[in-house]
C-alpha cells in the first residue's frame, strides 16, 4: 500500500534508543514536504527524542487508510479528506497545519482571462471529491454560473491536457501544475480558490487518531516540535532545505523543486506569522465553506476535528 523506500532518522541518540514515529505523506515527495525532510536531515527529530520515519503512499487514498488502520502514527492529509473521514465516523484529528493556505486552483488557457469566461467550455477535473467544490466556488466567486461548464474527468493529467488544448481549463494545484506550466509555456491563468471567495484554510494538515493522542501525547508533541523546526528552517534557508529534500529523495528535478518551494514559502505561515498554526476563526470559515459547496453534507465541528493544543504557544511545540 505504500512505497517500501521509507526514510528514517538514525537509530540511536547517544546511548539512548529513541522511539520511532511513522508518518505517511499525502502524495509523492515534493517541495511541500521540504520541512519534513529537513527535520530528518538536520536531526530536529532526534533532538526532540524521536526518530521520524517517512512513508510514501502509492495512491492518494493510502494515507487515510493507513492512519485509520493503525498502521502509521501520523499522516499528512488534505483538509477535505479529513472532513470526509470524520463525516463517516473516523477517529482522526488534525494537530498541525503543514500548508496554511489552499493549494487548489483552476488553471485556464491563455484566452480565458477570468473564471466566468469558462462558461460553455470543457473543464478537466481529477475526480477527487473536492474538485467540484473548488470549481464551483471559483466560478461562482467570479460571478459565473458553474452549471454552464462541461466537466470531464482527466485524473492528474492537467499539464498534458492543457498544453494539448484538450480542455479549456482544469482543476489543479497552483504550487505544482501551476508552476510546471509556467516553466513550460507562458500565458496560463491560475485562479486560486481563496481569491474567489473561499477562506484561506490550511490545505494540508498533520493528523493522528484521537485515541493515539490520548495514549501518547508526548510522541505527538515531539513530532510536531520537529516539524515546526523543520519548516522554520525551510523558510529561513530554502536553498538548504531543497537540498535536504533532494538528498533524501531520488529522482527529483532540482530546478522544479526550487521553483515550487519559492512559490510555497508564504504559505508555510499562518495569519499571525507562525508555522503550524490552526487558527480558530479560519477553521470556522472553512467549515461553513465545506458544507456550502457540499464536500460534506454538514459543516464539520472545528473543535472536534482539530486539537490545537500541540501548536499553541506554551505547548512545547510552538
- Provide the 10 A C-beta neighbour count for residue 190: 18
In CATH terms, 104-195 corresponds, of 3.90.870.40, 3.40.50.300, 3.30.70.2470, 3.40.190.10, to: 3.40.190.10
Residue 125 has pLDDT above 60, yes or no: yes
The strand ranges marked E within the chain are 7-8, 12-13, 16-17, 20-24, 51-55, 74-78, 92-99, 104-108, 122-125, 150-153, 169-173, 189-192, 204-209
Residue 9 has pLDDT above 60, yes or no: no
Residue 12 has pLDDT above 60, yes or no: no
Structural domain boundaries of the chain? 7-101+201-310, 104-195
Task: Provide mean pLDDT across the span 253-257.
Answer: 97
Tell me what percent of the residues of the chain surpass a pLDDT of 70.
Answer: 93
The reply to whether domains 7-101+201-310 and 104-195 share a CATH topology is yes
Rounded distance between C-alpha atoms, residue 42 and residue 35, angstroms:
10
For 63-92, the DSSP string reads HHHHHHTTS-SEEEEEHHHHHHHHHTT--E
Q: What are the pLDDT digits (tens) for 160-201?
A: 999 999 999 999 999 999 999 999 998 999 999 999 999 999
Q: Give the cell for residue 67.
A: 492512519
Please state, rounded to an integer, the average pLDDT across all residues of the chain. Answer: 93
Q: What is the pLDDT of residue 250?
A: 96
Instruction: Answer whether 100's CB lies under 8 Å from 111's CB.
Output: no
Q: Report the predicted TM-score, pTM, of the whole model to 2 decimal places.
A: 0.92
Residue 317 has pLDDT above 70, yes or no: no
Residue 313 has pLDDT above 70, yes or no: no
Strand partners, 264: none
Among candidate residues 189, 294, 277, 274, the one with its CA nearest the CA of residue 232: 274
Rounded distance between C-alpha atoms, residue 180 and residue 159, angstroms:
8
Q: What is the pLDDT of residue 60?
A: 80
Q: What are the pLDDT digits (tens) for 37-82?
A: 999 999 999 999 999 999 999 888 899 999 999 999 999 999 999 9
Strand partners, 105: 172, 192
Pick the more confident residue, 90 or 14: 90
Residue 10 has pLDDT above 60, yes or no: no
Positive or negative, the Cα torsion across 153, 158, 164, 168?
positive
pLDDT tier at 316 (50, 70, 90 boundaries)? low
Instruction: Answer whether 254's CB lies under 8 Å from 125's CB.
Output: no
Cα end-to-end span (Å), the chain: 33
CA distances from 57 to 28, 63, 161, 233 (A): 7, 7, 25, 25
Q: Name the phi and psi angles at 39, rounded to 5.
A: -60, -35
Q: What is the pLDDT of residue 314?
A: 59
Superfamily of domain 7-101+201-310: Periplasmic binding protein-like II (3.40.190.10)
Q: What are the pLDDT digits (tens) for 58-68?
A: 888 899 999 99
Amino acid at each position: 500500500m505504500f512505497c517500501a523506500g521509507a526514510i528514517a532518522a538514525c537509530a540511536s541518540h547517544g546511548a539512548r534508543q529513541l522511539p520511532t514515529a511513522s508518518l505517511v505523506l499525502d502524495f509523492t515527495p515534493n517541495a511541500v514536504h521540504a520541512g519534513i525532510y529537513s527535520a530528518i536531515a538536520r536531526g530536529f527529530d532526534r533532538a526532540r527524542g524521536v526518530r521520524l520515519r517517512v512513508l510514501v503512499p502509492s495512491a492518494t487514498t493510502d494515507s487515510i487508510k493507513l492512519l485509520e488502520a493503525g498502521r502509521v502514527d501520523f499522516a499528512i492529509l488534505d483538509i477535505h479528506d479529513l472532513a470526509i473521514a470524520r463525516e463517516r465516523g473516523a477517529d482522526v484529528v488534525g494537530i498541525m497545519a503543514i500548508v496554511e493556505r489552499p493549494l487548489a486552483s483552476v488553471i485556464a488557457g491563455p484566452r480565458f482571462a477570468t473564471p466566468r469566461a469558462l462558461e460553455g467550455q470543457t473543464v478537466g477535473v481529477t475526480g477527487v471529491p473536492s474538485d467540484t467544490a473548488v470549481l464551483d466556488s471559483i466560478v461562482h466567486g467570479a460571478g459565473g454560473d458553474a452549471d454552464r461548464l462541461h466537466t470531464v474527468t482527466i485524473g492528474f493529467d492537467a499539464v498534458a491536457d492543457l498544453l494539448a488544448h484538450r480542455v479549456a481549463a482544469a482543476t489543479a494545484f497552483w504550487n505544482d501544475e501551476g508552476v510546471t506550466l509556467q516553466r513550460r509555456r507562458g500565458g496560463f491563468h491560475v485562479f486560486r480558490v481563496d481569491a474567489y471567495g473561499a477562506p484561506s484554510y490550511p490545505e494540508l494538515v498533520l493528523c493522528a487518531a484521537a485515541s493515539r493522542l490520548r495514549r501518547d501525547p508526548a510522541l505527538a508533541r515531539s513530532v510536531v516540535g520537529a516539524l515546526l523546526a523543520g519548516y522554520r528552517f525551510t523558510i529561513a534557508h530554502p536553498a538548504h532545505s531543497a537540498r535536504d529534500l533532494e538528498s533524501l529523495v531520488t529522482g527529483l528535478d532540482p530546478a522544479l523543486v526550487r521553483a515550487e518551494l519559492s512559490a510555497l514559502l508564504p504559505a508555510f505561515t499562518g495569519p499571525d506569522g507562525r508555522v503550524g498554526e490552526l487558527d480558530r476563526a479560519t477553521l470556522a470559515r472553512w467549515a461553513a465553506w465545506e458544507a456550502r459547496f457540499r464536500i460534506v453534507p454538514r459543516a464539520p465541528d472545528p473543535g472536534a476535528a482539530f486539537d490545537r493544543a500541540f501548536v499553541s504557544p506554551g505547548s512545547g511545540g510552538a
